Chains A and B, each alone.
Chain A
């Protein structure tokens, strides 16, 4: 299952820096397309036996596992139902389970890793060292595991239509009134990547975007050597749902931006999506770095092509709240003196009806401003908390951790 070196028969691994296969034993480099196809043909016929048939196990977790043998040392390689490449736990050599990616299941394109493990870690440290509220323990985290995983994607073409009624507030004389607006339109998505792995949430995978699709290369399993990979396990409904959700998001943003009103929201819509049947199957690279903080698992993602780091990390609550309250108290004191001297003059003006009108407006404006400040601030904090939950999601941690090697 491993691609072996022509000179010394040691298993080769793909080196992101040189974009070639590298032999750690004799130091030779080979272009993936130059490697002989004999071993690849053998892999087409490779058969796997299920854990159930070999060990007669009834363990629910092991029902979807298959056993292969390592071409280097003959050791058992156990992989789950969607993995396509892994590492031998005994000799550490990379193995591609080719029967998984043969024929119809074989991806058409692969985006090879161009970010090395060291570079990925450097990028992560660079990012998190800048974070003023990231605890020191996280800045100096010890890695639980780091895995380079090729994530399956379907690159789709789709047409989307929608008709929506938008409710908004517009000025009418002195008051604001509720008005309704209608927007109908079409959107065409061309070469749009949708994650094809059920184990990885769409929210996490979409944050790895954008991918530079011009970096895609015709699929060659040698690019998988040294990395882990999964095959597509989504249904047409899943794919359609994920595409529709993204198209809807784009359409709604454009429709709301097109309406001149405040406090806009869509109150009804009739979306429709047609997926073209000419979708393309590709594998995209990502580094998954896991560590534990206060007993909770955290997974940082790094786009293996662009180096984009994706994570939301727990914050130093003591530092955050003490700074917030200190600043709040100082700003309150300063504002108190300003109001203490301006309010008497403000209320002492002439008590005509136009004067009280403008006073009322200023007070309403002040109250609206205070509410807006709190709303924006709290929304940002809630967004961070929501994304921290994604980073600490157990399913993504298991997606990375439950792999042999």
Chain B
């Protein structure tokens, strides 16, 4: 009995160890450059707006709908089926105007319902660096 148990454990440890060591060696040897840009490479960071531990059944069911914030808005961007291209300044201005109109309408509605227009997401956005790419890429010969 002891022999059988010893053999079972020994073969598990022996071949498990071999599998782990040679799997790692194979990954290092044959899988070259298996990585992509990390968050640090793009100076991106996640800012948590809600953290809840030990969710009960009700909270578990309602967490996503309660804390999810829908920010995509197809009316303020080109159609999904269109090929991506550089937009003209007029087109960008037009989309911006549409987005602002929509925001203003939403604010008015919020004010009507809650009596406040504070938007947490906008506040967060305003505290972040500008997303404008103008002047970011300067030709090296200008330096």
Name A residues whose Cβ lies closer than 8 Å to a Cβ of B. 33, 104-106, 108-109, 127-128, 130-134, 154-155, 157, 159-165, 179-193, 196, 206-207, 209-211, 213-218, 232-240, 250-251, 254-255, 258-259, 268-270, 272-281, 301, 308-315, 320, 323-325, 327-336, 338-340, 343-344, 347, 366-367, 369-374, 376-381, 383-384, 387-388
Contact = CB atoms under 8 A, between A and B. Distances in A.
Contacts of A218: 137, 139
B14 to A, nearest CB: 3
Contact of B53 (A157, A179, A190): A179
B45 interface: yes
B129 A163 contact: no
Contacts of B85: 104-105, 232, 281
In this complex, which of B16, B71, B95 has the most chain A Cβ atoms within 10 angstroms of its Cβ? B16
Interface stretch (B25-33, B102-110, B111-119): B25-33
B14 A250 contact: no
Given A161-B121, A209-B41, A323-B22, A184 B67 contact: yes
Contact of B46 (A235, A254, A280, A381): A254
Nearest to A363: B9
28 contacts: A106-B86, A133-B25, A159-B125, A162-B68, A163-B50, A182-B52, A183-B48, A186-B124, A188-B125, A209-B41, A217-B140, A232-B85, A237-B81, A258-B48, A270-B65, A273-B71, A277-B92, A281-B86, A311-B33, A312-B34, A324-B22, A327-B22, A328-B18, A331-B17, A344-B2, A374-B15, A380-B24, A387-B34
Given A163-B68, A185-B48, A190 B83 contact: no
B44 to A, nearest CB: 5
A360 to B, nearest CB: 14
Given A312-B30, A381-B23, A187 B78 contact: no
Given A159-B71, A235-B84, A339-B10, A324 B19 contact: yes
A209 B37 contact: yes
Contacts of A183: 48, 50-52
A374 B23 CA distance: 9
A336 B81 contact: no
Given A315-B30, A377-B20, 4 more contacts: A163-B50, A180-B54, A234-B83, A309-B33
Contacts of B54: 179-181
B125 to A, nearest CB: 7
B97 to A, nearest CB: 12
A272 B16 contact: no
Contacts of A179: 53-55
